[in-house]
């Protein structure tokens, strides 16, 4: 069967202060800058194909959705090699991290907030 698309090439994260957010994402995740413009900064993990695009907005925008019952789910996750190390490393670098949780399937994860309050998950 022939596919119409091959992969997700990027995610877009709304940010209110491009310089602050660019520095934060590079420091937290060791990303490389791959593209710069007035409205967008493209970042990538070294050697990876998916880009993280920081997009300049005037006011914060939702990066999570309501799953019902008071549960808010981030639109995107970062995958961790070692959840304990990721949690400790991000906290040491100054990120606001929530406690590590294990769900019923045994998946361990935690949520983290960027400088705009964008919530994302880190999963193992």
Residue 31: closest CA among 104, 101, 114, 117: 114
Per residue in 37-82, pLDDT (tens digit) is: 889 999 999 988 889 999 999 998 888 899 999 888 888 899 999 9
Pick the CATH number of 64-123 from 3.40.50.300, 3.40.1710.10, 3.10.180.10, 3.30.70.580: 3.10.180.10
Per residue in 7-49, pLDDT (tens digit) is: 888 899 999 999 999 999 999 999 999 999 889 999 999 988 8
Strand partners, 121: 77, 111
CATH topology for 10-56 is 3.30.720
Boundaries of every domain in the chain: 10-56, 64-123
Q: How many helices (H) and strands (E) does the chain have?
A: 2, 11
Under 8 Å CB-to-CB from 35, ≥6 apart: which residues?
41, 42, 51
26-29: long-range pairs with CB below 8 Å, 24+: 27/93, 28/90, 28/93, 28/95, 29/78
* pTM, to two decimals: 0.88
């Amino acid at each position: 069967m022939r596919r119409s698309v091959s992969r997700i090439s990027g995610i877009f994260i709304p940010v209110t202060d491009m310089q602050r957010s660019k520095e934060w994402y590079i420091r937290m995740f060791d990303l490389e800058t791959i593209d710069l413009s007035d409205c967008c900064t493209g970042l990538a993990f070294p050697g990876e194909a998916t880009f993280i695009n920081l997009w300049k907005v005037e006011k914060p925008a939702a990066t999570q959705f309501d799953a019902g019952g008071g549960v808010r789910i981030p639109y995107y996750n970062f995958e961790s090699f070692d959840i304990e190390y990721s949690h400790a490393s991000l906290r040491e670098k100054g990120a606001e991290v929530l406690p590590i949780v294990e769900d019923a399937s045994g998946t361990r994860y935690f949520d983290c907030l960027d400088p705009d309050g964008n919530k994302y998950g880190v999963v193992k």
